[in-house]
Amino acid sequence: MTLLGLLLLLLIAGICGSIAQGLTGYSHGGCLVSIALGFIGAILGRWLAHLLGLGEILAIQFGSESFPVVWSIIGAALFVALLNLLRPRRRG
């Protein structure tokens, strides 16, 4: 993978993570958190799609690999929702 391909992959993952944060109302962290959420969402979303027998929706090709945009957003939103459920609530 070239440097440009890696930078584009990071950009797409950051956008997917940001969209997932917006859908769930989670706004802690910055660009690096969004990128991490995008990658975690891609792994989780691709696993869920495989488990349910569904194909990739709107996948972006990077060389021989593809990045599942829709499954990344769904997976990241589920991951953030799970984190919010496990996080202790503050009283105040």
The 10s digit of each residue's pLDDT in 63-76 is 777 888 898 888 88
pLDDT by residue (tens digit) across 21-40? 888 887 777 888 888 888 88
What tokens were used for 76? Answer: 């990241």
Q: What is the DSSP string of the chain?
A: --HHHHHHHHHHHHHHHHHHHHHHT---S-HHHHHHHHHHHHHHHHHHHHHHT---SSEEEETTEEEEHHHHHHHHHHHHHHHHHHSPPPP-
Question: Would you state the pLDDT for residue 33?
Answer: 86
pTM metric for this prediction: 0.81
